[in-house]
Amino acid sequence: MPETVISRIRPGSRLDTPLCRLALDVAALTGRRRYGLAFLLGAAAAAAMSPVDMVPLLAVAFPGLLWLDDGSTSAGATFRLGWVFGFGFFLAGLYWIAAALFVDLARFWWLVPFAAAGLPAGFAIYIAFALLTTRLVVQRLQLSAAARVFVFAIAWSAAEWTRGHAFTGLPWNLVGYTWSGGFPGAIAMLQSVAVVGIYGLSFITVLAFSLLSLLGSPRTAPMHPLRRWAPGITAILLVTAPALGGAVRLASTPIDLTGTRLRLVQPSITESLKWQPAAAQDNFRRLIDLSRAPTTERLNAILWPEAATPFLLGRDRPARDAIAAVVPKGGYVIAGALRTDPPPAPIANFWNSIEAVNAHGDIVAHYDKAHLVPFGEYVPFRKLLPIDKITPGTTYLSPGPGPQTIALPGLPPFAPLVCYEAIFPGSIIDEDDRPAWILNVTNDAWYGRSSGPYQHFAIARTRAVEEDLPLIRVANNGISGVIDPVGRVLAHTGLDAIGYVDSALPTAGSRTPYARVGNWMLLGLLLLGAVPVALRLG
């Protein structure tokens, strides 16, 4: 039998523990087994998020990655390892993006491989650089195994922040979102974002679960039991201490509702029919009928999802009159709609907007989406790229000015967000004109019954906790819901459901530390995490 790394461990030595044996065996893997395991560990990390919500898988994914890297013989091997892990992570977490291309597969079939595999392959580079940076810093400074974990958590968090901002940004699949789903008790840990934000919660999460790798490190397996289990104890404290604080916050924040009542209309119109001229009247009628359904209590506003109406309301008086007929007394229908230059000016621009219509059929307020979707609402570098956007029509949308607060008589002021604007932390509220609630209209019909709509809802839920504001989410075909300022889901619809939800608006909380200083909290955490590195902890 050939000699292995494990066979060289002397029985009874400080290396002779099950976790040390496992770590050494993992580090000794080569070839397909090494990279196959890295891919699976990355996919397991993605499964910690919605809709799978298996948070404990992070206790396998991050230690496994670091143990595998113990066997890397060069910087190139480390980079490849990080890339394969990242590819598994993003392939499992972002596969649903390719579903949007199936709406018009005849035109965009050739883009499916790029969306399904190309995007994950590109994003995997961030994780590859995070792992490579960890290796280079550890080698340069001759750091201990414990200090290495802190470097890795810092590098991972910096990579997440960069991914959330570079090239218009896509802060999806952030590790901190593992606490925004349905894992039991996760909502208590989610309260941390009110202080440190989602990037800060990612740092804490990566650090906590990566510390478990030290339980199998030969360099940190001293004979004294207390020191041997110190990494595990520290990891537990990093999770339980914020969770206990979050539990106290939840217990001390009762469900408090205002007198404002809202109806959330979810028509669930399939994307293939949404912009069909022959279906326009039927689609519009479904919105009207759901809005007209009787209620036992007076409504203040009826809310429609993103791009709900197939008509240009600013130029279509009959459509506005039809909406006015279902507007609650003294209230509004607030609808997602495409907007153009107001008449009599010629049409030169289109915006993806939110428009408020009163009982006279007048548009009394509007908001234009500021953060547009690349290749969906515009094509970056379109003079150089020979492709068209995947959404219907040939007109590219124009961006709006950014966060704003809409104040309407009889309705608490609100911050409007269109679709994936809700995924950008720290960029959704005009803090100089703080609203009382957040309205997020969206259309997840593009993504069918994939994990995308569940993830989108969980991400939006996080914004409510960060800002301590209720968030009302109205989806065409996704998950609509009423979320209170601490992230409790008070009412929601099912995916693909046709119907409506009537609910009172929850009361707003006070401005959180994160709302005051934003992502500077992340910088503070990273500097704090660098202290053990500077002290050569271990």
Does residue 344 have a cis peptide bond before it, meaning omega lies within 30 degrees of 0? yes
Computed from CA positions of residues 204, 207, 208, 209, in that sequence, does the dihedral angle turn out positive or negative?
positive
- Residue ranges and CATH numbers for the domains of the chain are 14-252+519-534 (no CATH), 257-506 (3.60.110.10)
Distance separating alpha carbons of residues 7 and 220, to the nearest angstrom: 20
Per-residue confidence band for 521, with pLDDT thresholds at 50, 70 and 90: very high
Q: Edge-to-edge, what's the strand order for the sheet holding 350-357?
A: 363-368, 350-357, 332-340, 301-303, 257-266, 499-506
Which pLDDT score is estimated for 416? 98
Residues 6 or more apart from 431 whose CB is under 8 A from it? 511, 515, 516
Question: What is the chain's percent helix, strand, coil content, to nearest 5?
Answer: 50, 15, 35
pLDDT number for residue 74: 97
Neighbour tally for 69: CB within 10 Å:
24
Could you tell me what percent of the chain has a pLDDT over 90?
79
DSSP assignment of 105-154, as one string?
Answer: HHHHGGGHHIIIIIHHHHHHHHHHHHHHHHHHHHHHHT--HHHHHHHHHH
Which of 306, 377, 466, 467 is flagged as catalytic?
306
What's the mean pLDDT in 465-475? Answer: 98
pTM score, whole prediction: 0.93
Q: What is the pLDDT of residues 366-405, one digit of tens each?
A: 999 999 988 777 777 665 666 666 666 657 889 999 999 9
- Concerning whether 467 is annotated as a catalytic residue, the answer is no
Q: How confident is the model at residue 452 (pLDDT cuts 50, 70, 90)?
A: very high
Query: What pLDDT is stored for residue 101 in this prediction?
Result: 80
Q: CA-CA distance, 529 to 532, in Å (whole number)?
A: 6
Residue 431 annotated to the active site:
no
In the set 160, 271, 274, 369, the catalytic residue is 369
Please provide the average confidence, as pLDDT, over all residues in the chain.
Answer: 91
What's the mean pLDDT in 449-460?
Answer: 96
Residue 511 has pLDDT above 80, yes or no: yes
Matching residue, tokens 């507007």: 327
Give the pLDDT of residue 15: 58
Q: Is 331 exposed, middle or buried (0-12, 13-18, 19+ CB in 10 A)?
A: buried
Distance CA 155, CA 258 (A): 43
Residue 394 pLDDT: 59
R_g (Cα) of the chain, nearest Å: 25
Per-residue model confidence as pLDDT tens digits over 30-58: 999 999 999 999 999 999 999 999 999 99
Mean pLDDT check: name the lowest of 165-169, 373-377, 426-430: 373-377
| C-alpha span between 468 and 191 (Å, rounded) | 10
* Catalytic member of 160, 419, 466, 467: 419
Q: Of 110-114, 214-218, 352-356, which gets the smallest average pLDDT?
A: 214-218
Mean pLDDT of 201-226: 81
pLDDT score at 3:
34
Per-residue pLDDT of 282-329, as tens digits, reads 999 999 999 999 998 999 999 999 999 999 999 999 999 999 999 999
Type of residue at 441: V
User: What is the C-alpha to C-alpha distance for residues 137 and 143, in angstroms, rounded to an integer?
Assistant: 8
389 catalytically annotated: no
